[in-house]
Amino acid sequence: MGAGGHSRHTCLASATLTRETAAAMTASLSTRSLIGLIGAPIAFLAPLLLDVPGLDEPGERALAIMLLAVVLWVTEVVPLHATAAVIIIGQITMISDAALVDLPADFEPAPFADYYQALADPVLMLFLGGFFLADGAAKFSLDRALAGTLLRPFGTRPAGVFLGIMLITAVLSMFMSNTAVAAMMVAIVLAVTADLDATDPRRIGLALSIPVAANVGGMGTPVGTPPNAIALSGLLDIGEAITFIGWMIRVFPFMLLVLAFGWLVITQLYRGNNSPISVAIDTAFDRSGHAKIFYVTFAATVLLWLTEPLHGVSSTIIGFVPVVVLLSTGVFTADDLRNVRWNVLWLIAGGIALGKGVGGTGLDEWLVGLVAWQVLPLVLLLVIMTLVAISLSSVISNTATANLLIPIGLSLATSGAIEASPVLVGLVIATACSLAMVLPVSTPPNAIAYATGMLPTGKLAVMGLLIGGAGLLVFGLLAPWVWQTLGLVP
Domain boundaries, the chain: 1-118
Q: What is the pLDDT of residues 363-416, one digit of tens each?
A: 878 877 777 777 778 888 888 889 888 888 876 778 878 888 898 889 888 887
Q: Which residues of 332-351 are buried (b: 16+ CB within 10 A; e: fewer)?
A: beeeeeeebbeebbbbbbbb
- Per-residue b/e over 123-148, b at no fewer than 16 CB within 10 Å? bbbbbbbbbbbbbbbbbbbbbbbbbb
Which residues lie across from 110 on neighbouring strands?
96
CA distances, 320 to each of 112, 123, 125, 451 (Å): 25, 10, 6, 35
Q: Which residues pair with 96 in a beta bridge?
A: 110
Q: Using one digit for the tens of pLDDT, what is the confidence trace for 333-342?
A: 999 999 888 8
pLDDT, mean of residues 428-435: 91
pTM of the model: 0.75
**Rounded Cα distance, 267 and 212, in Å:** 13
Query: Buried (b) or exposed (e) across 25-63, using 16+ Cβ within 10 A?
Result: eeeeeeebeeebeebbeebbeebeeeebeebbbbbbbbb
* Structure confidence by residue, pLDDT tens digits, 119-140: 988 888 888 888 888 788 878 8
CA 237 → CA 89, 233, 242, distances in Å?
21, 6, 12
Q: Average the pLDDT over 69-93 and give the result.
A: 89
Distance, CA of 430 to CA of 389 (rounded, Å)? 8
CA distance 236 to 230: 10
- DSSP three-state, residue 71: helix
| Residue type for position 239 | G
Query: Which value, in Å, is the radius of gyration of the alpha carbons in the chain?
Result: 23
Q: Answer for the pair 315, 242: CB distance below 8 angstroms, yes or no.
A: no
Q: Count the Cβ atoms, other than its own, within 10 Å of residue 183.
A: 26
For range 315-331, the mean pLDDT: 93
122-139 vs 226-237: helix crossing angle, rounded to 10? 160
Those residues whose C-beta lies under 8 Å from the C-beta of residue 34, and which sit 6 or more positions away, are: none
The region, left, alpha or beta by phi > 0 then psi within -120 to 50, assigned to residue 358 is alpha
Q: How many C-beta atoms surround the C-beta of residue 378 within 10 A?
A: 14
Identity of the amino acid at 106: D
Q: Is the pLDDT of residue 60 over 90?
A: yes
Q: How many CA atoms lie within 13 A of 110 on its CB side?
A: 24
Crossing angle of helices 122-139 and 158-175, rounded to 10°: 130
pLDDT digits (tens, 9 = 90+) for 295-304: 999 899 989 9
DSSP 176: S
